[in-house]
Chains A and B, each alone.
Chain A
Amino acid sequence: MKSLFFYTRLYLLLVGKYLQARMQYRADFLISTAGMILGNVAAIGAVWVVFRTIPNLAGYTYPQVIFLYAFALLALTPMQLFFDNLWSLRMATNQGTFIKYYFKPLPTLFYFVSETLDLKGFGLLAFGLGAFVWASGQLGIQWTPVRIVLLPLLLGGGSLIFISLMTIAASATFWVKDSFAILAFVSGFRDHARYPMGIYNSFFQFLFTWVVPVGYVAYYPAQFYLTDTVPDWTAWVSPLFAAALFALAVWIWNRGTRRWGGTGS
């Protein structure tokens, strides 16, 4: 097992190469960032329009819903920033270029994702932070030391949950020809993670808690900030749950890479 320092340095090196190549497309960066932010502006705009007609949604006020949205956005940003290459895995396996990842003494998942750093993610990060600060201010959240210390842990847990789900979805390409629809399917759950769980019936709550556990991306951990009472176990377990799910995702990925046999050429 090589040290964390080794991997950090290597990551910076690989990503640095990628960024160097991207720098020739500066207009692309600006327009893509704008596109990413506009999508979220439209989604928040839709929430705003709906709240012109209702006082709350399943007991959640407008700033509380925005808080949930921002929490989800911040939790989903690392997927966009660091794991965006998962979307192109199906191209790499179908065209055979994936073979090169076997030839380095590195974990293939690490090597594969460190080839891109999706710059659009920084736009998301900025927008998410803005919405988070605004909603926290509106709600007058008391920033106790416990809440501050838990925040990176809970956001990290939420991130890792979604990253694991997407890694599993992308790994499907080792067994079936084209994993795009599976990725798009799992990616769609991102949007369902943003609403208060109270809107769903017990079946869907079960689904989002145990099967496709997107409830842990934002709704459960956000309870620490939205209620003043001590929340129940669902709010606490997200980091542990995330670690377990990530281990499972890595295991599936590794099984897949052993199974995949190149294109035969």
Chain B
Amino acid sequence: MVIRNGLMASFTYRAHMVFQILGSVVGIVVLWFLWSAIYAAAGTTTVRGMSFGQTFLYVGLATALFVMMRTWIEWDMNAQIRTGDIVVHFFRPYSYTGWSLASSLGFVAGNLITITVPSLVTIFLIFHAPLPPWINVVLFIPALVQAYLLSFLIDFAVGVTAFHTESIWGVSASKESVVLFLSGGLVPLAFFPDPMRSVLLVLPFASMFNTPIALLAGGITDLGQIAGRLALQTFWVVVFWLAVRWYYRASVKRLTVAGG
């Protein structure tokens, strides 16, 4: 039900959808030119062990995943906390976190149809990106789910900051930049200088973009390595879940709603 509502909301305006699709297609074409120029400048077929096809697939997927996981849930929370409407959820027999997750999932479904799928079609059909081995495609699904959970938990934490500060815009924008850069969402982690890359691979950010994307873009093929990356994802999801739950409970205690 809640998922369906979120989905319907993202379909309300057709012009909105057309421009969103157009925007992501132009974005991907620009990425193609940019990385073509980078590979032309490098003068070799592979840079840091990645072919142009792999890199382009990587950055294209990163953009597609980024827009898919961007569900603006922190803004919904901000509005509910600001107006006090959030209390309605306290009287209902479900957890607010679960409710937020469900409505964010609805948005993910909408994004998937309007943004992610057209992007993927553009990448694979028009630009002939190489297809990964099937085992990677299968394992991509749990990796994507865990990446999304992590992204949701971080967004939820940003939403909770609305209990403490007026500036959710600043917190949200900072989060976006830090996550995109450190997760290899802007430039594949393979391009980073060595000591930096080793550190970034262990940090939670890599679990959000680099892990699922590397599965499809062929960065990792060894099964043991894949299992390790998936386990690391699970570890970070659990850590963030515990941290966010604690943060949320501590913050709710501060809440006083006018006229309550």
Question: In the complex, which of the residues B23, B47, B171 contacts A31, with contact meaning CB atoms closer than 8 Å?
Answer: B171
Assembled-state Cα–Cα distance A184/B176 (Å)? 17
Q: Find out whether the CB atom of B176 lies under 8 angstroms from the CB atom of A31.
A: no
CB B105 to nearest CB in A, in angstroms, measures: 22
Interface residues on B, range: 35 or more
Best-buried of A28, A45, A53, A176 by chain B (most CB within 10 Å) = A53
Q: Find out whether the CB atom of B178 lies under 8 angstroms from the CB atom of A42.
A: yes
Q: Find out whether the CB atom of A38 lies under 8 angstroms from the CB atom of B34.
A: no
Contact with A along B159-192 (1 / 0, CB 8 A): 0000001110111111011101100001100011
Q: Find out whether the CB atom of A27 lies under 8 angstroms from the CB atom of B166.
A: yes
Interface of B, helix, strand, loop or mixed by DSSP:
helix
Known contacts A50-B187, A53-B47, A53-B48, A38 near B16 by CB under 8 Å: no
Question: In the complex, which of the residues A28, A198, A204 contacts B165, with contact meaning CB atoms closer than 8 Å?
Answer: A28
Assembled-state Cα–Cα distance A196/B36 (Å)? 13
Assembled-state Cα–Cα distance A191/B166 (Å)? 28
- Residues on A with C-beta less than 8 A from B239 are none
Assembled-state Cα–Cα distance A54/B187 (Å)? 14
Question: In the complex, which of the residues B20, B36, B42 contacts A181, with contact meaning CB atoms closer than 8 Å?
Answer: B20
Contact with A along B11-25 (1 / 0, CB 8 A): 001011111101100
Q: Find out whether the CB atom of B38 lies under 8 angstroms from the CB atom of A57.
A: yes
Q: Find out whether the CB atom of A32 lies under 8 angstroms from the CB atom of B34.
A: no
Best-buried of B18, B47, B174, B180 by chain A (most CB within 10 Å) = B174
Question: In the complex, which of the residues A32, A176, A188 contacts B170, with contact meaning CB atoms closer than 8 Å?
Answer: A32
Q: Find out whether the CB atom of B165 lies under 8 angstroms from the CB atom of A57.
A: no
CB B40 to nearest CB in A, in angstroms, measures: 8
- Residues on A with C-beta less than 8 A from B41 are 54-58
- Residues on A with C-beta less than 8 A from B181 are 42, 45-46
Interface, chain B (partner A; CB < 8 A): 13, 15-20, 22-23, 26-27, 29-30, 33-34, 36-38, 40-42, 47-48, 165-167, 169-174, 176-178, 180-181, 186-187, 191-193
7 interchain pairs (CB within 8 A)?
Answer: A30-B170, A35-B177, A39-B176, A56-B41, A181-B19, A182-B19, A184-B19
Interface, chain A (partner B; CB < 8 A): 25, 27-36, 38-39, 41-43, 45-46, 49-50, 52-58, 176-178, 180-182, 184-185, 188, 191-192, 195-196, 198-201, 204
